Amino acid sequence: MQYFVNKDSIVREIWGKADTILFIFAGSAAEFALNKAVDWLYYTGKLPADPLGRLFSTVEYARRIIFADLDSANQAIDQITAIHQGVETSRGATIPDWAYRDVLFMLIGYSISSYEALERKLTDAEK
């Protein structure tokens, strides 16, 4: 079976620990307010109405990708894409590519920082 993320990847180790995930999302939540595309995050009203629910649904999507076989992970990614396309259609504008990159880089950065704060220093290869 082919996995989206290799079974022995440090990514699985990082995202397999609840404490690390909480640190990742605590840092990300604080940084979201500084993101130039923050309006996209609040457009539907779901985030301010239920921030903990959004946290858990976001973590669930991440885990459905990281710990899944290739086909299941791609299905989860397609669901995320459909959700974003629905927001774009409703709003009448496209979410810019740089906004996706900002969030991706933020999650990568907080994944590294959180793991290193709680577990151990990552090697350059692991980063």
Residue 11 lies in a domain: no
CA angle 51/57/63 to nearest 5° reads 135
125 CB burial (10 A radius; 0-12, 13-18, 19+):
exposed
How far apart are alpha carbons 56 and 61 in whole angstroms? Answer: 9
Q: What's the total number of domains in the chain?
A: 1
Average pLDDT over residues 71-96: 94
pLDDT of residue 29: 79
Residue 127 lies in a domain: no
Q: Would the pLDDT of 71 be above 70?
A: yes
Residue 7 lies in a domain: no
The pLDDT tens digits of the residues spanning 13-52 come to 999 999 999 999 888 878 877 776 667 777 788 777 888 8
Residue 48 lies in a domain: yes
pLDDT of residue 100: 86
Residue 50 lies in a domain: yes
Q: Give 94's Cβ-side CA count (13 Å radius).
A: 3
Average pLDDT over residues 93-104: 87
pLDDT of residue 40: 73
Residue 5 lies in a domain: no
Handedness of CA 24, 124, 64, 67 (dihedral sign): negative
Domain extent at residue 107: 17-118
